[in-house]
Amino acid sequence: MLIIGLTGSIATGKSTVASLLSSPPHSLPIVDADVLAREVVEPGTRGYRAIVRHFGPMAPDLLLPASDSMPENGPNGKGRPLNRAVLGRLVFGDEPQMQKNRAVLSGIVHPAVRLGMVKMVTACYLKGYWAVVLDVPLLFESRLDKFCGTTMVVAVTEPETQLKRLMDRNQDLSREDAENRVKSQMDVRLKAKRCLYGGEGRGVVLWNDGSKDELKAKLDEEIRKLKAANPEWWSWLMLGCPPLAVVLATWRFWQNIRVERQWREIQEREAST
């Protein structure tokens, strides 16, 4: 089974691509890191308690306010939901404290999300899918790309396009807030360059500067190529012979680690010059 790592940046069109991949004619299962990230911090979970314990003293309004429709202990008695806008202001930005806060939040959320991903990918493998999509905004930053057979980046060529789309989508965001959210992630053009590094077949970049129809046409063509290289019968062979699947996954994992090491060496040399 091919694991496709789908990523991009805020307001580049990644969610649109995920929706197209999950719909006919592709009908691929999507493992959405954002959905899992919300689930692992719902009231009553271990992640929720850790976030409230760490960030509560910094922000008295970290939880949604109590009201007639929102009881003090939340709708399920496990606590009021997190106020994500408030939490976002604590972690999005270049200031040292924000970077520290973002690292703490990642340390709380990421392990639980990864466990959820493993369970979902395993279920897709057992059902015989030819491919599964890992929809992960921070695919390269979290180094989850090394588990993928190929990566797919949805990008735009101009930063202003990204900011305009983000502000149009979230009209409560100021330009400064929008810029901070964009800056909190690796530049999408660098992600595109990283995606293509390592040779043909390792990555696909979908430049999304035009219409949705243009994006769909590009995506359909790339999936056609991937499916031709990874036929469905191969997935059933992997299911029927788990040792072969383990060997192939181990080989891909080792190759991805090698490519990642080479990429980091190049980035370090460029940074030092």
Positions of the chain with pLDDT under 70? 200-201
Neighbours of 243 (CB within 10 A): 7
Torsion of CA 186, 188, 189, 191, to 10 degrees: 70
Q: Please, which contacts does 249-254 make with residues 24 or more away whose CB atoms are closer than 8 Å?
A: 252/149, 253/146, 253/147
0.75 exceeded by pTM: yes
Which pLDDT belongs to residue 200? Answer: 67
Which pLDDT belongs to residue 242? Answer: 85
Which pLDDT belongs to residue 72? Answer: 83
Integer Cα distance of 139 and 135 in angstroms: 8
What domains can be seen in the chain, in order of their start residue? 2-272 (3.40.50.300)
Phi/psi of residue 97, nearest 5 degrees: -65, -40
Which pLDDT belongs to residue 201? Answer: 65
The first and second tokens of residue 1, run together, are 């089974």
Residue-wise pLDDT for 34-90, tens only, equals: 899 899 999 999 999 999 999 999 999 999 888 888 888 877 888 899 998 899 889
- Counting residues of the chain whose pLDDT is more than 70, the rounded percentage is 99
Q: According to DSSP H, which parts of the chain are helical?
A: 14-22, 33-39, 46-55, 84-91, 96-126, 159-169, 175-183, 188-196, 212-229, 232-240, 242-272
Which pLDDT belongs to residue 67? Answer: 86
